[in-house]
Amino acid sequence: MDATIQPVIEVKDLEIGYDDFTVMKDLHFNVNKGDIFIVMGVSGCGKSTLLKSMIGLKAPSRGKVLFYGKSFWDQDEQGQKNIMRRFGVLYQSGALWSSLTVGENVALPLQLYTKLSSQQIQEIVALKLSLVGLRGHEDYFPSGMSGGMCKRVSLARAIALDPEIIFFDEPSAGLDPINARKLDDLILELRDGLGATIVVVTHELASIFAIGNNSVFLDETSKTMIATGDPKVLLANSKDPRVMQFLTRGRSDDEQKRQ
Amino acid sequence: MSSEKLGFDFSTPKTLLIKLSGDWHISTGLLGTGEVTSQLDSHPDVAQINFSISPDLKWDCGLISFLLQLIKACEQKKIQVTRDGLPPEAQKLLALALKVHEKTDLPPKERKSFFDEIGEKAFQTGESFGSAFNFLGDITVSLGRLILGKIFFRWDDFMFLVKRCGVDTLLLVSMISLLVGMILAFVASIQLKMFGAQIYIADIVGIAMVRVLSAVMTGIIVSGRIGASFAAELGMMETNEEVDALKTLGVSPVEFLVLPRVLALVLMMPILTIYADLMAILGGFLISIWMFHLNGLEYLNHTQQAVKLSYVWIGLVHSFVFGVIIAIAGCLRGIECKRNAAGVGNATTSAVVTAITGIVIATAIITFICQVLGV
């Protein structure tokens, strides 16, 4: 590990919860440049809540989230906006604006934050859509598209402003294995092409091993993280039964019984 | 500006070497391919384009967009473009963007002409009348099945709906009908004062409110409060596939969701209307005593003489009909809700508009019938 490289995102002593109820506490981890960082854990353990704290939708009860060394929740509104502009988010259900066409969905961030002419915006929109494999779909409405296509449009919107960090909330949720695999490949290609850092919240094992090179494992009962590192290394070396059970789809139990 | 980003080198025969440098971020604006094509036009012998990058090159999709256009332009001119000199990331993105996509067989979006849209609207209006009557039919059938005891009816839900339709609107109905009674008394007094006949305020307030106005005012309040909430609730359920879940369970959504709502509202509307009658008479009473110093007992006597029992029945018929209209408009619009974000909003708006329009039309019809019957 090179100590001089500053992590893109640092999570320090983070505690998240609703009112008096603590969802997760004592979270410490770093996301480095170019990582595909996986936030994993069983359903309902607080993965999505952690993501909300990282993308600025929900203030944590305690602790800090630092982007490039700047604490997000200590910034004023303008400072937060400046940080938010450097990342893109792909929401679980796509979250496309249903009243806008696909092209308008991707164009909106460009209209808001660049000074390009509408002709130029159309060019960039066409480029982003062709990056996600949907060339020429500008005039469709999201309601007429399949779940996989909506996800890819949403990805095109998330990368509209060439973000340095891309957050994915359950990218393969609701997708068949083939489309989920295609999306994983796309994530890898875009990471290499855009040089972006990627944070993925998921519990899809196939994706975790296919794309992740760093991770944090959240445990529901102890309400904190119990493992961190490359998922493949965790699978090979972790001694924690909870982590092993998750990474092997509960198979470790059967194996123990058999022995 | 642009010359800072692009350099041209023709030193190798038949080859153009494009030197890319400077800041290509989209925030600095996009560069068109005009400069390159004009260079190519002045050197028609060029058959290949190579790239070289300077160390100060900074880029994002602005550069990729430029390169894509250039590649397309060169394809037409049959010039070969070698991408080896580009940054490796840019090569990857270009490959991704130029990948042949699988064909999708989505139907193309059609643009409708103005007249097509008018025609479609007209047909839709006809259909929506038809669907309203179909719906009314469904409700009648399920009511019959309820009376025969053939359907699963959740009385807990029904009582909850009764509470929602009745108790939760009571305060609003009190306030509005009290004020309407006062306003009516006020307006009537302006004319009646000229004849010294202020005592007839009692007749006007009593007859007008009891015969129609209480029912109409209550109907408008209830359609805004309850009708809209029915539409939003059922619309959300339709969007969440809860309605489909009922259907696959073999339960008709009309029996399970619509019928209890219609019955609850039809039960509560007359009761609310009677209550509104009392509040309105109280409003007229207060104004007459405070402002015009009429005798309270005399006022009540006048009211009693003026308001015949048949008027109360007419008011109740109004309120019954309005209850049916509001409940059906709310439930129908909710069930018909489109499955997108705007759908629930449109359903709610349309439920209120339909209900209020229906109330006004029904009032006109009932008034006419009463006129003919001479009641």
Residue A237 touches chain B, beta carbons under 8 Å:
no
Residue B26 touches chain A, beta carbons under 8 Å:
yes
Q: What is the pLDDT of residue B183?
A: 95
CA atoms within 13 A on the CB side of B84: 6
Positive or negative torsion for Cα B282, B287, B293, B299: negative
Per-residue pLDDT at A91 exceeds 80: yes
Per-residue pLDDT at B7 exceeds 50: yes
CB-based burial, B59-82: b 16+ in 10 Å, e otherwise: bbbbbbbbbbbbbebbeeeebebe
Residue matched to tokens 């209900």: B355
Interface confidence: ipTM more than 0.85? no
Instruction: Supply φ then ψ for residue B336, to 5 degrees.
Output: -80, 0
Q: Three-class SS string for A140-203?
A: CCHHHCCHHHHHHHHHHHHCCCCCCEEEEECCCCCCCHHHHHHHHHHHHHHHHHHCCEEEEECC
**A116–B29 CB contact, under 8 Å:** yes
Gap between the Cα atoms of B261 and B135, Å rounded:
14
Mutate to test the interface with A, among B23, B101, B112 (most CBs of A within 10 A): B101
Per-residue pLDDT at B132 exceeds 90: no
CA atoms within 13 A on the CB side of B288: 30
Per-residue pLDDT at B268 exceeds 90: yes
B104 neighbourhood in chain A, CB within 8 Å = 134, 137, 149
Gap between the Cα atoms of A37 and A35, Å rounded:
6
Question: CB-based burial of residue B356 (10 Å sphere; 0-12 exposed, 13-18 middle, 19+ buried)?
Answer: buried
Q: What is the pLDDT of residues B237-262, one digit of tens each?
A: 988 888 888 888 888 889 899 999 99
Give how far Cα A81 sits from Cα of A56, A73, A85, A113, Å.
Answer: 9, 11, 6, 11
Gap between the Cα atoms of B344 and B46, Å rounded:
60
**A193–B26 CB contact, under 8 Å:** no
Instruction: Supply φ then ψ for residue A244, to 5 degrees.
Output: -65, -40
**A144–B106 CB contact, under 8 Å:** yes
CA atoms within 13 A on the CB side of B266: 15
Per-residue pLDDT at B111 exceeds 80: no
Assess contact for A159 and A194: CB atoms under 8 A: yes
Give how far Cα A165 sits from Cα of A64, A71, A223, B91, B290, Å.
Answer: 18, 16, 26, 21, 71
B68 neighbourhood in chain A, CB within 8 Å = 127
Per-residue pLDDT at B1 exceeds 50: no
- B288 Cα to chain A: minimum distance (Å): 54
Per-residue pLDDT at B231 exceeds 50: yes
Per-residue pLDDT at B324 exceeds 90: yes
Nearest to B61 among A97, A139, A162 (CB): A162
Residue matched to tokens 């988010």: A89
Q: What is the pLDDT of residues A74-87, one digit of tens each?
A: 888 888 888 888 88
Assess contact for B302 and B199: CB atoms under 8 A: yes
Q: In what order do the strands lie in the sheet with A197-201?
A: A87-90, A165-169, A197-201, A36-40, A214-219, A224-228
- Residues 80 through 119 of chain B touching chain A, CB cutoff 8 Å: 89-90, 92-93, 96-99, 101-102, 104, 106-107, 109
B101 neighbourhood in chain A, CB within 8 Å = 130, 133-135
Give how far Cα B337 sits from Cα of A34, A257, B230, B233, Å.
Answer: 45, 53, 12, 10
User: Could you tell me the two tokens for A13?
Assistant: 């002593």
Assess contact for A151 and A145: CB atoms under 8 A: no
Per-residue pLDDT at B40 exceeds 60: yes
Q: What is the pLDDT of residue B141?
A: 92
Residue matched to tokens 């909506």: A150
Assess contact for A157 and A109: CB atoms under 8 A: yes
Most confident among B62-76, B243-257, B277-291 (mean pLDDT): B277-291
